[in-house]
Each structure stands twice: as structure tokens, then as C-alpha cells.
Amino acid sequence: MKYYSLNHNAPKVSFQEAVIQGLAADKGLYFPESITPLNSDFFKNIENLSNEAIAFEVIQQFVGDEIPTETLKQIIAETLSFDFPTVKVEDSIYALELYHGPTMAFKDVGARFMSRCLGYFNKDKKDNKNTVLVATSGDTGGAVASGFLGVQGVDVVILYPSGKVSDIQERQLTTLGQNIRALEVDGVFDDCQDMVKKAFLDESLKHHKLTSANSINIARWLPQMFYFFFAYKQLKSENKLLVFSCPSGNFGNICAGIMAKKLGLPIEHFVASTNVNDTVPRFLEKGNYDPKPSKATISNAMDVGNPSNFIRIQEMYNNDLEQFRKDFSSYSYTDEETTAAMQTIYKTDGYIAEPHGAVGYLGLKKEMINFPNAIGIFLETAHPIKFLDVVEPALNIKLPIPTQIESVLGKEKVSTKIKTYEELKAFLG
């Protein structure tokens, strides 16, 4: 499979090159040259297939022959070693829980898949390593640290804003050691992000072979298609239309859902639910794309003013707004509405949703008015424990600590404090 840059000003590359580079030389996101729908037998028989077998069918054409079949199967098995249950919350409303992995956020799947692909591509390299440089506002850092721990030929450097991530999130990215190092930046998330972007453009850092591990990287983005197939497998026997609502920040997840539909998965409608960072809902309403600086909210993993994957979505709809509106809606919610939804879901349904899932629920409920006979599924993208500062007071409960989280709580934080880009360069060496 070849990948082209959505800025159309860089050469086409292989899967391997796209994964290693992250972003094309013209700063465009990579996109697959073709998308071939899966055959109807696959969908007829899907409930008899394991998650691993489904994932292999789904991802195979995008990897091509660049990873041997047995190795790809092994990578998938390691990536998917936990459950993805659909949990009934109300009549016709399900939560697709994506948080049963090692760091308890959905980003585990993409981080694990990408790390193992990079590990495979670097398997024979001794001192010609890749360095994954990543800025995090919370969840990405932990998933990347856990996913890349001990992977051969890859060093990881994570930048996070000092004092702006939760205690659990900080421990997840500062306590692992080995090939994972954490930089605690005196500043906000945007400062971390700016430093990372600058480093990618810096010729004097070329020898580090820097790459990114957020959803601009195809190996982190594409495996997110799996979730939608796993939900379909579980709910197929209900024989109803399916509506998915994704709590959206950088729009990587929902963009993977649209890819799944392109592969033939029968999804009737998508809802992108956002917090007050509402660039996409405004676009759908008004027709012009007008990104704004991000605002801080209680669903902080979605505090994105200019979603990087939106351009991939537009590519799939050939920039045809009318067609796009038929398949896709987008609504935004305030923190007050989000907290009230968490309380309703808990009181009425006995289900504990964290703020991102609650935003997804709100968008879903609104859209279901248009699809009275469908099943609605909202993605629960993180375990409530990751947002305990919000969840516990809102619901007046105490959450038990899951074992995955307990294991990092006792470990000691190791990080290096920096303030300037020069300090980042000095650290990389």
C-alpha cells in the first residue's frame, strides 16, 4: 500500500516510511491510496471470528506485504489482549468500553500497534534508532510510555506540562524507566506541542530520526477502526441500524470509524460530540472552517481547537459538505451539561461515565431522535478513575482503584524539568 500526503506536495511512500516519518515532508498527513471494501462473507460470518481475526482482515490491506503475515498476527495479538465490551446503559443505548487496556484509555490500542510496527522495522538496527517525541495533555503520554516500553530500536521522549496533568497520568508516564524518558515542561500543553513541532523541523536533530506517536501517525490511527467492527460483532444479532457517537478532540477515532464504513461496515450515522471546543460543530452549521485556540474543560483530552484529523475526513467526503451532513452530525456541550449528564446516567441507569463518555452520550441522545429504531453506541474512551477529580465529587462516590493503576501508584516519578527549546535540544544531545 502506498500513502500520499494530503498536502499533495511530497512523494508517495510505503507503509513503513509513513510510520517512520509520521508526517510527510510537506507537513501533510498521510492517507492510503486505495480503500478496498471487505467481502460480504466476512460480514456474514463476523460473529464467529475472534477479535484478532477481525483485526487482521481489517488492517491487512493497509500494511500490505511490508510485515510478514505471522508477524502481523503476533502484533495484533499483543495489541488486543483485553476486552472491548458493549455495555447496555438504557434501552437501545450502549457504551462501547475502550478502556480495559494497560493505561485505561482507548489510546492503548494505537500506541501498542504502532510501537510494535516500529519495533519490527527497527529490529536489525543497533545504533540507528528512532526517537518518538510526543507532547501530551494527559492520556497519550501514558499510553505511549506503556506501549513502547522495552521496544527495540526506539527511544521515547514525552513532554508534559508541569502541574497540568493528574497524579495518575503523571505517574503513568514518569515511572517506567528503560527506553522511556519524561520531560516536565514549565508551561502549558501548547508550549510542549510547539517544542515538538519545532524539533521535527530542526535539521540539526535529523540524526535522531524523530517521529510522532499521536493520531497523525497512520499506525496509531488505523487500528482504531477495530473498535467499530468489535461493536458490530456484538450487536449484529439485534438486526438494527447503528449510530455511533464519538467524544472527539483530534477526531482520530471518528475518522477511523468513517474508514470502517468505507470498508463496508454498516454504520448508519456518526455523531462527533465535542466540549466547548466546537470548531467542527460550527463548521457543519455554517460551512466555514474557523479554528480557535483551545479552551480548558473537564473533558481535557478533547481540548483541541484545530483537530488534526479533520482533513482526513474531508478527503473521504471529497470535500462535499452535503454528502458529509447526511452521514455525520456534530454537537458541542458545556462542562455543566457534561456533569449533569454524568449524574443522570448514574442515577437513572446506574452507569458511571467519565466526562468524555458523557459528552458522547449527550450527542448520541440528541441524534437518536432522528433514528428511533436504531441502536445508539457511545464510545467510553477512558476509565472513570482517570478523571476521579471530576467523577467522585460529581457523583458523590468513591471509586475503587483498578490493579492497572495501583501498580504505578507506588512507583517513584523520574522526570527532567525544562523550560526552553534549547534545553530540549541539549537533552536530546
Ligand X SMILES: *Cc1c(COP(=O)(O)O)cnc(C)c1O
Task: Give catalytic residue positions.
Answer: 107
Q: How far is the CB of 66 from ligand X (least distance, A)?
A: 25
Measured from the CB atom, the residue of 153 and 247 that comes closer to ligand X is: 247
Radius of gyration of the chain (CA): 20
Contacts for 3 with CB less than 8 Å, ≥ 6 apart: 12, 13, 14, 15, 17, 18, 30, 31, 32, 33, 218
Which residues in 157-186 contact ligand X (CB under 6 A)?
none
Contact residue for ligand X among 226, 251, 333, 351 (CB under 6 A): 251
Q: How far is the CB of 428 from ligand X (least distance, A)?
A: 26
Contact residue for ligand X among 247, 257, 376, 384 (CB under 6 A): 247
Which residues in 202-221 contact ligand X (CB under 6 A)?
215
Q: How far is the CB of 184 from ligand X (least distance, A)?
A: 20
Contact 112, 105 (CB under 8 A): no
Q: How far is the CB of 248 from ligand X (least distance, A)?
A: 4
42-to-58, 100, 265, 375 alpha-carbon distances in Å:
10, 26, 10, 22
DSSP of 325-365, one letter per residue? HHHEEEEE--HHHHHHHHHHHHHHH-----HHHHHHHHHHH
Contact residue for ligand X among 205, 210, 302, 405 (CB under 6 A): 302
Query: What is the distance between the alpha carbons of residues 55 and 349, in angstroms, rounded to a whole number?
Result: 32
**Is 391 one of the binding residues for ligand X (CB under 6 A)?**
no
Query: What is the distance between the alpha carbons of residues 426 and 424, in angstroms, rounded to a whole number?
Result: 5
Beta strands in 17-73 (DSSP E): 30-32
Measured from the CB atom, the residue of 115 and 122 that comes closer to ligand X is: 115
Measured from the CB atom, the residue of 107 and 269 that comes closer to ligand X is: 107
Q: How far is the CB of 68 from ligand X (least distance, A)?
A: 29
From 46, 35, 397, 93, select the one nearest 242 (Cα to Cα). Answer: 93
Which of the ranges 149-157, 176-184, 247-255, 391-399 carries the binding residues for ligand X, by CB under 6 A? Answer: 247-255
Can you state the angle between helices 107-121 and 69-79, rounded to 10 degrees? 150
Which of the ranges 46-54, 58-66, 245-253, 418-426 carries the binding residues for ligand X, by CB under 6 A? Answer: 245-253
Measured from the CB atom, the residue of 179 and 253 that comes closer to ligand X is: 253
**Is 301 one of the binding residues for ligand X (CB under 6 A)?**
yes
Measured from the CB atom, the residue of 122 and 330 that comes closer to ligand X is: 330
Contact residue for ligand X among 97, 108, 139, 278 (CB under 6 A): 139
Query: What is the distance between the alpha carbons of residues 305 and 142, in angstroms, rounded to a whole number?
Result: 22
Query: What is the distance between the alpha carbons of residues 307 and 286, in angstroms, rounded to a whole number?
Result: 17
Measured from the CB atom, the residue of 195 and 280 that comes closer to ligand X is: 280
Give Dmax (Cα) for the chain: 59
Q: How far is the CB of 153 from ligand X (least distance, A)?
A: 26
Residue type, 421: Y
Which grid coordinates are listed for 191? 508550549
Contact residue for ligand X among 381, 385, 394, 404 (CB under 6 A): 381
Measured from the CB atom, the residue of 261 and 356 that comes closer to ligand X is: 356
Contact 145, 158 (CB under 8 A): yes
Q: How far is the CB of 73 from ligand X (least distance, A)?
A: 26
- Strands, sheet with 13-14, edge to edge from the N-terminal-most edge strand: 13-14, 2-5, 30-32
**Is 365 one of the binding residues for ligand X (CB under 6 A)?**
no
Query: What is the distance between the alpha carbons of residues 224 and 228, in angstroms, rounded to a whole number?
Result: 8
Contact residue for ligand X among 67, 101, 103, 107 (CB under 6 A): 107
Contact residue for ligand X among 248, 332, 338, 339 (CB under 6 A): 248
Query: What is the distance between the alpha carbons of residues 417 and 406, in angstroms, rounded to a whole number?
Result: 25
Residues that bind ligand X (CB under 6 A): 105, 107, 139, 215, 247-253, 301-302, 356, 381-382
